[in-house]
């Protein structure tokens, strides 16, 4: 994903945008490492668990991480004059986009299809606000299709959804203003 930040700049509408600045790479990498296994990969470990023990471990790790990041973002929100709105400070970085991809898909696919159903993303006030904030960044909503996510997951994983039924819901409005 790091290469997407700069390797295609000659075709980019805004090549000056840098989500992986050199001086922040260590911090960005630390945050990506902290979210990858328990959250980004955690939904897959939960969804593809082949035993109850593996599922119980994976879902526990996933929701402990979601709880923790919701608290972190809540603390930053409370101290927004002095604190950070995003994972690495007051500007969006690659770490934020790494977390966003999973959060955007969470209620649409992971909650139901992957059995990540202890709580929905909308039940996490700070993660939900953060996800909407990122979704509402210029140009993002144009490439985030709710229907596409549901079709790719529910039709593309017959081992998890042999009937191929795409659910009607959930009804999610990512355009509700973030605070």
pLDDT for residue 179: 78
Is the predicted pLDDT of residue 84 greater than 90, yes or no? no
The rounded distance, in Å, linking the Cα atoms of 115 and 63 is: 12
Closest CA to 62 of 54, 50, 74: 54
pLDDT for residue 77: 55
pLDDT for residue 13: 73
Cis preceding linkage at 92, omega within 30: no
CA angle centred on 118, ends 117 and 122, rounded to 5°: 80
Closest CA to 68 of 132, 131, 126, 129: 126
Most confident region among 1-5, 12-16, 63-67 by mean pLDDT:
63-67
pLDDT tens track for 8-63: 667 777 767 788 999 999 999 999 999 999 999 999 999 999 999 999 999 999 99
pLDDT tens track for 123-178: 999 999 999 999 999 999 999 999 999 999 999 999 999 999 999 999 999 999 98
Q: Which residues of 84-104 are buried (b: 16+ CB within 10 A; e: fewer)?
A: bbbbbeeebbbbbbbbbebbb
């Amino acid at each position: 994903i790091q290469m997407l930040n700069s390797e295609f700049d000659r075709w980019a509408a805004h090549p000056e945008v840098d989500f992986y600045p050199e001086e922040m790479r260590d911090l960005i990498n630390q945050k990506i490492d902290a979210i990858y296994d328990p959250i980004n990969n955690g939904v897959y470990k939960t969804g593809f668990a082949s035993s109850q023990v593996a599922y119980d471990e994976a879902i526990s790790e996933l929701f402990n991480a979601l709880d923790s990041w919701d608290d972190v973002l809540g603390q930053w929100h409370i101290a927004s004059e002095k604190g950070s709105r995003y994972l690495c400070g007051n500007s969006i970085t690659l770490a934020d986009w790494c977390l966003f991809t999973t959060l955007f898909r969470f209620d649409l696919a992971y909650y139901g299809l992957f059995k990540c159903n202890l709580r929905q993303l909308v039940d996490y006030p700070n993660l939900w606000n953060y996800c909407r904030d990122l979704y509402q960044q210029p140009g993002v909503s144009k490439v985030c299709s709710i229907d596409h996510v549901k079709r790719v997951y529910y039709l593309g994983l017959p081992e998890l959804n042999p009937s191929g039924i795409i659910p009607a819901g959930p009804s999610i409005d990512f355009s509700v203003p973030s605070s």
